[in-house]
């Protein structure tokens, strides 16, 4: 960490233990929105949130700007620094028991932290040419997607013990789309069961449509495109699974699609879409208290700045 980042982080820790939250709606003590602290990030670039993971009343949110991770109290709206700037950005974040896992974007890093203290437990540099994007935990393994390479990174985890990561080449229906604006290969991912993941691929067209979902057998790396009926998935990003219901964050059209997924993950039916006026290029989501869905409003297509109000938005699902 350079001196500028260190000074900014120290100042923020002293002055930003409380961040404004929107008033809770009638009969609900949880804030509808929680503002993320731009002042934690050095320079006039804003927080630039990306990933979110929730346990109980606590949300962990990553910064694409510099790898900072904050911890937010969903009941009070209080936001505090948790993991200081890494120097490289962060995307997906996931909870694995006592550990917090973070995807390190183009640094090629799989980052592992203690979920209580924020201390680093392990760090693995797995690629020089990839982009580590999102994370799903299935059984005793965490799987990290790569948006530039057709592979998954499998990281064994047992309690606080972390093994050595290995690559799983992806075969079958999934193909890398050529790099272009609006193309995000291997974007969000969730675990359907111990052996099956569901993974999103964004390939946007000018009207905001495009993209696909794939079921992935982690034992072989074989992928099967999910047959979605009842409507098209548009710009899929983060994924959330609750039972057999899959929620797909659609960042370009600023909605969350709700689908009923088959038992093997190879087909789905679009049921409805959820939205909120506070969403501006939503990227990821996670379920929190009272069954509410908390969505990161990234403002990804707005030039990053401290003038931008980056937020977590609460949706009643």
**pLDDT, tens only, 118-168:** 999 999 999 999 999 999 999 999 999 999 999 999 999 999 999 999 999
Determine the pLDDT at residue 16.
40
Mean pLDDT of the chain: 90
Give how far Cα 69 sits from Cα of 118, 157, 286, Å.
9, 21, 16
Residue tagged 């290029």 (tokens): 281
Confidence of residue 62 (pLDDT cuts 50, 70, 90): very high
End-to-end CA distance of the chain: give it in Å, rounded: 40
Residue 247 in tokens: 């929620």
pLDDT band at 29 (very low <50, low <70, confident <90, very high): confident
Tell me: the pLDDT tens digits for 259-300? 999 999 999 999 999 999 999 999 999 999 999 999 999 999
Instruction: Identify the three-state secondary structure at position 15.
Output: helix
Rounded to a whole number of angstroms, the CA Rg of the chain reads 18
**pLDDT for 211:** 86
Query: Is residue 274 within 8 Å of residue 317, measured between CB atoms?
Result: yes
Instruction: Tell me 148's DSSP state.
Output: S
**Cα 54 to Cα 245: distance, rounded to the nearest angstrom:** 18
209, HSE (Cβ side, Cα atoms, 13 Å): 3
Position with higher pLDDT, 19 vs 190: 190
Reported confidence tier of residue 24, pLDDT bands at 50, 70, 90: low
| CB 128 within 8 Å of CB 121 | no
Least confident of 52-61, 136-145, 169-178: 169-178
- Rounded Cα–Cα distance for residues 105 and 221 (Å): 21
């Amino acid at each position: 960490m350079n001196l500028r980042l260190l000074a900014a982080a120290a100042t923020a820790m002293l002055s930003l233990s409380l961040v404004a939250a929107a008033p809770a709606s009638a009969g609900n003590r949880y804030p509808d929105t929680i503002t993320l602290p731009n002042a934690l990030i050095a320079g006039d670039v804003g927080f630039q949130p990306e990933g979110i993971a929730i346990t109980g009343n606590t949300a962990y949110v990553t910064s694409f700007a510099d790898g900072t991770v904050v911890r937010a109290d969903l009941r009070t709206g209080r936001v505090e620094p948790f993991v200081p700037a890494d120097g490289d950005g962060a995307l997906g974040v996931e909870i694995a028991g006592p550990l917090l896992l973070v995807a390190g974007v183009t640094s090629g890093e799989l980052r592992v932290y203690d979920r209580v203290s924020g201390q680093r437990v392990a760090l693995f540099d797995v690629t020089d040419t990839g982009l580590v994007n999102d994370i799903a935990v299935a059984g005793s393994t965490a799987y990290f997607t790569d948006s530039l390479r057709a592979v998954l990174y499998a990281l064994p985890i047992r309690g606080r013990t972390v093994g050595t990561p290995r690559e799983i080449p992806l075969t079958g229906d999934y193909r890398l789309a050529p790099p272009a604006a609006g193309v995000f290969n291997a974007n969000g991912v969730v675990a359907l069961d111990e052996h099956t993941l569901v993974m999103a691929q964004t390939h946007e067209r000018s009207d905001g449509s495009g993209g696909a979902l794939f079921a992935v057998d982690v034992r072989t790396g074989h992928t099967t495109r999910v047959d979605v009926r009842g409507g098209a998935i548009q710009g899929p990003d983060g994924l959330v699974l609750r039972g057999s219901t899959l929620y797909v964050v659609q960042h370009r059209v600023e909605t969350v699609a709700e689908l009923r997924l088959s038992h093997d993950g190879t087909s789905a039916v679009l049921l409805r879409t959820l939205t909120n006026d506070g969403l501006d290029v939503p990227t990821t989501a996670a379920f929190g208290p009272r069954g509410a869905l908390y969505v990161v409003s990234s403002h990804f297509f707005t030039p990053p700045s401290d003038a931008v109000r980056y937020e977590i938005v609460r949706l009643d699902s």
